[in-house]
Amino acid sequence: MSIAPSALAENRRTAVAESELTFPGLNMICVTGAGGNIGSHVVGQLASAGAPFRTAYFSEAKANDARARGIEAATIDYERPETLRAAFQGCDKAFLLGPNALNQTQLEVNAVEAAKAAGVRHVVKLSVMGADEERFELARIHRAGERALESSGLAWTFLRPNSFMQNVETFMAETIRVESAFYSASDDAKVSHVDVRDIAAVAVKALTDPGHEGHAYTLTGPEALSYDEMANALSQAIGRPVSHISLAPEELKAAMLAEGMPEALADRMIDLERYFREGSASRVTEDIRQLTGRGPRRFEQYAHERGPALG
């Protein structure tokens, strides 16, 4: 059953009135990348908290689907700053999730400038663990975006997560289903993978609670695991053996290129694998527990929740 536009408008007015009681002085939060792994959870958790928000999608189809569900939505193109300004208009705060593109730094600069022009006061930027050290390419890209925010005059908060647990579904699901295996160039490196739902929980805190301006948070899971250990957890969850196969970096890059990944992006991922092999991604922090009041999810929990879908 469809809902009449007038009913949607009335629902919106009611929601805004109620949110003003819970979040006084907060007019609107704009969530970019609202259809992605992290953004969709930020949206869901903001809705559960009763916070006022507007979603911003790269896809018009996703924006239309959100509108059909009564969610305020805009379509944005980081190459067209006017679309960003329109999405940010009337918002006090914004969650900035830049596209994984060859020109990601410039696209994030476009977003920062558009947010400032639209009157946004505080931007919570999704960054990457190790951005402050700039020891791998992705860190340098995100640090450039951080610097743009630091010099913009806007209040900022940086979320610096480690690799996502959900990358298993995004990048490894097909070979797990077909070959009962997944591949990396990380050898036996241990990585403190983090669940995107925990990242989203910190983002919601930073967007709705005071006192996070000028802070950078490093977000990790509660333990550092090798990919072999992750394969064992997936094997138990799925009910059949799953193997991790470590390739030489050049072999993994060749596989990425064969799948159609642009070489510059493949090089970016291979550089991240090098960072892992050096043991630099094994650090475990307490930031999620301190900010949300509960510990981050373990990979074993994620595997048992999502593993059967990979069977």
**Which candidate, 306, 308, 172, 174, places its Cα nearest to that of 240?**
308
In a domain, 304, yes or no: no
- For position 311, what pLDDT does the model report? 76
Helix, strand, or coil (residue 190): strand
In a domain, 91, yes or no: yes
Which conformational region is residue 134 in: left (phi greater than 0), alpha (psi within -120 to 50 degrees), or beta?
left
In a domain, 268, yes or no: no
Q: Which domain holds residue 128?
A: 5-162+194-220+282-294
In a domain, 87, yes or no: yes
Q: Which residues contact 82 (CB under 8 A, 6 or more apart)?
A: none
- For position 8, what pLDDT does the model report? 38
In a domain, 243, yes or no: no
In a domain, 180, yes or no: no
- For position 22, what pLDDT does the model report? 64
| Number of domains into which the chain is organized | 1
| This prediction's pTM | 0.92
- For position 308, what pLDDT does the model report? 87
Query: Could you state, in chain order, the average pLDDT of each consecutive group of 10 residues for the chain (311 residues)?
Result: 38 48 77 96 97 96 96 97 97 96 96 98 98 97 98 98 96 95 97 98 97 98 98 96 98 97 96 97 98 98 92 76
